[in-house]
Structure 1
């Protein structure tokens, strides 16, 4: 059985239901009825038509999409069941549509490294990994120590199927806004520098990310504007962020509870008179810079100093990359660099018109009404996604993304690299 079986059955269920509900809700969209009704009739067998209408932002499609999404059964970790069974790797790779050959010489000659920190939602991790996977790249997976044993075993079983995917040799109990999140990346970097794959840039991802740009477009972006340069958007630490490094913070972990809290003890100034910057925790770093991070006294001292600060991954990378003489540094850079598309709550009405899903920690978890905004974004990746809450968002996005990837290929495309329904549409239109 395909891991996506529950999703496909959900589309079958919604097919007839959505047509009836569409007629009831159609009075305000008469001009779109014929096109959308045709698309929804195929919903049970070919969800791509509904997805295309959603990417175009058709109002009737948004109505129908929400109704269909409600009809879908709850997303479950189907992969967990499979990976604990006796299924073999070739079946898994085939059913999850992993691309097993470099799609162009350009990509083959510019391998990337990925650090992926995960702790839940195996179905989302499999979608993400299948999307960003390329055989010339290398992937370090950091599994949170808090993750359930069965989850840990399933991910290890998955990674054993690939020569270029491995589990970090040291695992952390990751706490939101704590030093452990930064240490998890460092752990993977210590492993990646010993990889036989001569990667050019390393990119970090979390389990609720998804790519917007193809591997080829990412390579072209890094080769052109950021060739030999680190990408760490940020600015000098603003006044309203100084609380993060003014006092000592500690991590509290007990069973399922984990958080960071401030103490009343003031913190000393950064070592070596380093000027602190503030920026995104997401990056694209050169191999030489990673070597610097792991070996330079200043980098090591700043890392030690950062252990009791709040969310140190939002000052560590950007601060080191603003230091003169550091490999690939950008001392005068600002917020430029399209690393991650995020809809922040406080940017509503400024950089975006609102969140179609819901906010968690002031970050939008995308709903289907955000698909058009996502596909028009100039960023390489987007955050956040939750297939258990909004299954159509990730289902549509991965189909849309895979078609873009395969259309850019310079090699013969294999049938199983398509989703089955997309293959029939592309080959026999």
Structure 2
């Protein structure tokens, strides 16, 4: 075939592809969707394939994904979300919730059964994102304490209570704090849950703390192997000696203030009178941790831990010095006095680290922390940390769906028990129905 014919065929092919794209785009954009639940957030015929392409950072997938999320935000609230159900006055049907939201209701391996974990979840908003996180970390042999910010609405608290009531191993903390960002109340919330967990009958091995906008990057079995491996019997509290620029956090008195719609911590001009109790050296690090049960007992009973807790009441963000400082005490259970930033507990895209430790936020920033967008999926899949922060299901529904489709197959592949069909994340073919103006799911 001569060059002229090849050129003609190439032009014709490209033209047809362009026309097809324009046609398909017009079909998707023409109607306004009635509602887009998480099951339909993929918006294409094969959501798994779209997610796979997003994790590879393919430009075409990012474009299609952005269109899908735009349609989701333009439509009504997600019908699949439990928050909208509760607002409509429909109580949760626990059996239906566990089945339709793909909860794993059996322990998947002897290895996991022999190493139960405790989780502390501090939450203050967004029940749908909390439930999305919870079904990813749920296992029937673990135990979960949910601390609900005392400032939240009665409706949100009822929703969390209803969610917890669907599971035998989940409870809401009896004592609730009015949590202020950067305040002592955030540390106290964890302590409240620890007291109840320590007094429970389940002999859990480690406790890990989460906020309601986290998501795991490892399966439960991978968490167990991580903690039983290099860290066996050791606490994970990443941090270093308190840097000079962080010292005003603990050298001056800070106060929490709460008013309708606002809460904040202010630094006063008054210096703290007393030095750090027991001559402890202050460290600075992550507020997130993995702590042994023995260390938790130490935190709740040792005079040094108790005195440091009281001393920290008027400091700024004490959860960023409390755990890491106690874990450097040589005779504390599971202590690691020479530890630094090891542990890889969280992946976070901080605003001031853009283009330094990460490639920038592809979603949006809240308090200098990235809320992940579609363009962040490739980066997330390459992380080796235990969890990532932050996510918003209703702002970025396709991110949420793809993260589930990325994690759940790995979880099930590690199972030693027969896999139940409802444990799979739904893999429905979704398409936009022009005539009925809705996202339709054909029966299988």
TM-score, length of structure 2 as denominator length = 0.85
Partner Cα distance (2:109, 2:315) in 1: 43
Does the CA contact (< 8 Å) of 1:339 and 1:380 recur in 2?
yes
Tell me: CA distance 1:149–1:217, structure 2 relative to 1, closer, same or farther (3 Å).
same
User: Map of 1:65-214 to 2, 5 A cutoff?
Assistant: 65-72=65-72, 73=75, 75=77, 78-83=81-86, 84-214=89-219
- Greater mean deviation of Cα atoms: 115-124 or 403-412: 403-412
2:347 aligned with 1:358, yes or no? no
Does the CA contact (< 8 Å) of 2:44 and 2:50 recur in 1?
no
2:59 aligned with 1:59, yes or no? yes
Deviations 1:213-234 (A, max 9, x none): 1111111000001111000000
> What is the CA distance between 1:91 and its match in structure 2?
1.2
User: Map of 1:270-419 to 2, 5 A cutoff?
Assistant: 270-419=276-425
Does the CA contact (< 8 Å) of 2:65 and 2:374 recur in 1?
yes
Match of 1:258 among 241, 247, 263: 263
Deviations 1:224-278 (A, max 9, x none): 0111100000000000101101110000011221100011110131111110000
Partner Cα distance (1:207, 1:45) in 2: 31
Does the CA contact (< 8 Å) of 1:189 and 1:290 recur in 2?
yes
Deviations 1:179-200 (A, max 9, x none): 0000000000000011221111
SS in 1 for 2:427: helix
Which structure's relative contact order is higher, taking Cα pairs within 8 Å and 6+ residues apart?
Answer: 2
Give the superposed CA RMSD: 2.1
**Corresponding residue for 1:5?**
none
> What is the CA distance between 1:85 and its match in structure 2?
2.3
**Corresponding residue for 1:246?**
251
SS in 1 for 2:359: coil
Tell me: CA distance 1:19–1:97, structure 2 relative to 1, closer, same or farther (3 Å).
farther
Partner Cα distance (1:19, 1:402) in 2: 32
- Greater mean deviation of Cα atoms: 68-77 or 280-289: 68-77
Does the CA contact (< 8 Å) of 1:97 and 1:416 recur in 2?
yes
Partner Cα distance (2:225, 2:411) in 1: 14
Tell me: CA distance 1:384–1:21, structure 2 relative to 1, closer, same or farther (3 Å).
farther
> What is the CA distance between 1:158 and its match in structure 2?
1.2
Tell me: CA distance 1:63–1:93, structure 2 relative to 1, closer, same or farther (3 Å).
same
Does the CA contact (< 8 Å) of 2:119 and 2:207 recur in 1?
yes
Tell me: CA distance 1:74–1:331, structure 2 relative to 1, closer, same or farther (3 Å).
farther
Instruction: Mark the structure with the bigger radius of gyration.
Output: 2
> What is the CA distance between 1:403 and its match in structure 2?
1.4
Tell me: CA distance 1:21–1:315, structure 2 relative to 1, closer, same or farther (3 Å).
farther
Partner Cα distance (2:420, 2:51) in 1: 23
> What is the CA distance between 1:334 and its match in structure 2?
0.4
Partner Cα distance (1:198, 1:61) in 2: 46
Partner Cα distance (1:100, 1:417) in 2: 8
Match of 1:20 among 15, 19, 22: 22
SS in 2 for 1:293: helix
TM-score, length of structure 1 as denominator length = 0.88
Partner Cα distance (2:304, 2:98) in 1: 43
Partner Cα distance (1:277, 1:74) in 2: 48
Partner Cα distance (1:398, 1:118) in 2: 20
